[in-house]
Structure 1
């Protein structure tokens, strides 16, 4: 429990995103399943689906069912991974910008010294 609280204090954005996305994507998955169960899993569902969804499902009703069932989970994991990547890239970008500003400053100083003679 202490480890979880420490991680929440260390990464508050990621912890909030995890809590928020868990609710949103659970709702999305349940609602998608409820809608499709209400209309029934029939071939008319495939014929009335947009072309991009047919191509994602490969024209198969079973693949469409699997895609809709696993879609929210995949988006949830991808968004969580992206926030962790952005968290670590933020520090790297700050360091790169710091070095860039120093290099530009040194370049401008050398150019100024060159014009003075």
Structure 2
């Protein structure tokens, strides 16, 4: 993976945007496993973090970002600005969409 800049703002300090290439997305849906479901049931009684779900969320976010970066690289982008996540949890698992605007940049 390249050193592509991925940022939530519309400006990148020390760079100027020279070309806007378009919207890029990365999506994934990860399913839960029975062990995590049992753990969630127990944790809901006593409270505390459900580490299996935390890991599931982390992995889903990373995969969505990687797919978004791959799409931007295919367009020839140097960076992604206005980066955001959408996350949905359901009975089937965790769905994550990462999105932003692919751009070309150059140092000031």
TM-score (norm 2): 0.29
The structure where strand makes up a greater share of residues is 2
The structure where helix makes up a greater share of residues is 1
If you compute each CA radius of gyration, which structure gives the higher value, 1 or 2? 1
TM-score (norm 1): 0.27
